[in-house]
Structure formats: C-alpha cells, structure tokens
Amino acid sequence: MPFNDHYVIIGNGPAGNHAAATLREKDKDAKITIISDECVPFYYKPKLTEFISGTLKKEKLMVNTLESYEEKDIRIRLGQTVEKIDPDTKSIFLKHMEKMDYTKLIIASGGRQRVLPSMTSFEEHLKFVTSYSDVMEYKEQIKKAKDFFIIGGDLVGFRFLRMLRTIGKNVSIMIYPNAFWPYNLTDEMLDKITKRLSKYTPDVIVKDDISSIESHKNGTYQVATSKGLEKKVDMVFSFNGLMPNIDFAKGTGIDIDHGILVDEYLKSNIDSIYACGSCAQIYNPTIKNYTVSIGWPNAVTQGKVAALNVLGDQKIIKSVGRKYFDMEGAMIKTTWWEDIDDES
C-alpha cells in the first residue's frame, strides 16, 4: 500500500480551515484531518453577536457546510477534544481514549476567554461569548433577561453592548484598562470610549473595581463595586480578550509561553509541529521577541503559510497590514483586527 502523509490539524477556525484547504490544494494524495471540540462546522465568530440578536440566521453564520469538507476530501472530526500530544511517537490522544498518528501536526486551537485575576473568585457567575456553544447556551436566557452587567471592555464586549441596547436591554458596563489585552487603555482612551459608550448606556463605570458578585435564588445577581455601587442584574458577561488555548500542549516538550512558541516560519521547537492563529506566539526578528497573534485575517494568512511550510516551503509570516482601528472613538494601532464581512 502506498504511504500517504497524514496531516492533522487541531482546530476548525480560520487558521485550521485555511491550512487544510492549502494542504489539499498542494497535495492531492495526503490524508488531512481536522479535529474540533465544537460540534458545528467552521463559522464566523465575528458574527456571533448578530446571531444572538436574531438579525443573522444560522446558515449565514456558517462558513462551511459538512459537504464542503467532503468535497475537498478533508476529514472533519467534530465534538472531539485533543488532550495530549506525544511528539516522540507523532501521536495525539483524544479525550475518548483514541490515539491518532500524524506525519505533520498543525496546532490551530485558537483562544479561550481570559479571566482577570481579580475575577477568579466569582468566575462561576460570569458568562462569555467565545464560541457557538456559548451562544446556544445563553441565547434564550438573553432574550428573556432585562438587565445586564458587562465586565471588561474589549472590542467584542463593546459590540455586545451595542447589540443588547438595540434589542432594548438595560446594560451597565465596567471598563478595565487592561481588558484589551495585550494593550492597556490610557486615561485619554478611556475618556473617549466612555464618552462614546454613554450614547448607548448611561451606566459606563471606569476607575472602579468589582468587589463581589452574589447569586440570588431567583437567578438574578447582585454586583457590588469597591466604590459602593450596587446593581441587581439578570446576567453578568465578561469580555477581557482571549488567551491561547494550549493546555493540551503543556508538559509535552513543545515550547510554550502564553501561546505555542514558533519561529517566523510558524514552526515550533519540534520539526513536525507548526502552530498558527490565536494559539501561536510568533517570533518577530525585528523586535527579537514573541507576540501572540489575534484576529481573523492573521489567522487566515497564518493557516495558509503554516501549510505551505509544512510542505517544505520557507515562507516568513508577516502580520496583516498595520492600521488604526476606531474603538469607540479611541484610535488604536493594530496589526490584527478587521471588520469581517463574508470570506468570499
């Protein structure tokens, strides 16, 4: 039997899907498998808030259908979690005890919610919007709820606030300057953002801190702040950026810091393992340091480059064009965030 390479990709977001499509384009014979712990095909995370409000139907949220993987002869394993990697035997281990061998592995496992250290004691009361399954868990509850409290204030949080206001909800928001990780908002930026957000809600709270969140038997929450504010709300959401999702790589011999450490070719310290998208921390030879990559367009570009390099190319990753992003009136220089329309 001829030996065909098996390229395994952990992650079904833009990085993983563009890696898989590029691999298939360049190598017609290889076996390609994408593994995802989510139960839906590739979808637009940036459109989740529109999906919650009901202005976007599920068909429009999806980038891929299950048939589109079949058409490209890409195997998709949904609802399966990678728990461990063994680089010595080139195997991954899934939660349901299955072992899968690979020739080359691309880690594209994205990001998960970042919880501020001061919030860990009441984390159980916080809700997040980072995935389709989060949204499906809360969609109905959001419809019924009236009063919301948002903690943090990254780009997604502000978008979520505007969406809640358009569907007639009452919203308080407490903005933390370090919510916009890896950036810190300056006082000047905070002023501008507060002014702009005040058009949407009178309850913009800055330079304060949450001191407690208590749940009541009737399902509501009492939020208290250090400066003595008290709010009774139906749901508390936290938006403090995303952190690389790399627990399964810990203790495997793969070099990690915040994310999977890779060189400018997206290769890790292990020859057969590459990483791309929000889980990667990429070496930048100009600043001689590693930076975590965020944003949809970077994930797309990196997925393609990782695939080409897996196949033997030597493409250096460049971040998507530097531009200023208007964050509620404060201009932030970013190489990574774009307004996402359809991929087509």
Ligand X SMILES: Cc1cc2nc3c(=O)[nH]c(=O)nc-3n(C[C@H](O)[C@H](O)[C@H](O)COP(=O)(O)OP(=O)(O)OC[C@H]3O[C@@H](n4cnc5c(N)ncnc54)[C@H](O)[C@@H]3O)c2cc1C
272-301 residues in contact with ligand X (CB under 6 A) are 277-278, 294-297, 299
Residues 28-67 that bind ligand X (CB under 6 A): 35-38, 45-46, 48
Whole-angstrom distance, CA of residue 75 vs CA of residue 213 = 44
Which residues from 224-283 bind ligand X, rule CB under 6 A?
245, 248, 277-278
Which of 8, 16, 119, 237 forms a contact with ligand X (CB under 6 A)? 16
| Smallest separation (angstroms) from ligand X to the CB of 299 | 3
- Is residue 323 helix, strand or coil? strand
Q: Residue 339 CB, nearest distance to ligand X (Å)?
A: 6
Q: Is 286 helix (H, G, I), strand (E, B) or coil?
A: coil
Q: How far is the CB of 160 from ligand X (least distance, A)?
A: 8
Residues 72-101 that bind ligand X (CB under 6 A): 81-82
Q: Which of 22, 64, 109, 281 binds ligand X (CB under 6 A)?
A: 109
Q: Are 274 and 105 in contact, with CB atoms under 8 Å apart?
A: yes
Cβ closer to ligand X: 113 or 231?
Answer: 113
What are the distances in angstroms from CA 205 to CA 128, 145, 180, 190, 197? 19, 21, 16, 10, 10
- Distance of CA 141 to CAs 73, 146, 283, 300, Å? 39, 10, 42, 33
Within 10 A of 207 (CB to CB), how many other CB atoms are there? 13
31 and 73 in contact (C-beta within 8 Å)?
no
3-class SS at 337? Answer: coil
- Of 33 and 222, which CB lies nearer to ligand X in the complex structure? 33
* Residues in binding contact with ligand X, number by CB under 6 A: 36
Nearest distance from C-beta of residue 298 to ligand X, angstroms: 7
Q: Name which of residues 163 to 222 contact ligand X (CB under 6 A).
A: none
* Angle subtended at Cα 49 by Cα 130 and Cα 194, rounded to the nearest 5 degrees: 95
Which residues sit at the interface with ligand X, rule CB under 6 A?
Answer: 10-16, 35-38, 45-46, 48, 81-82, 108-111, 129-130, 156, 245, 248, 277-278, 294-297, 299, 337-340
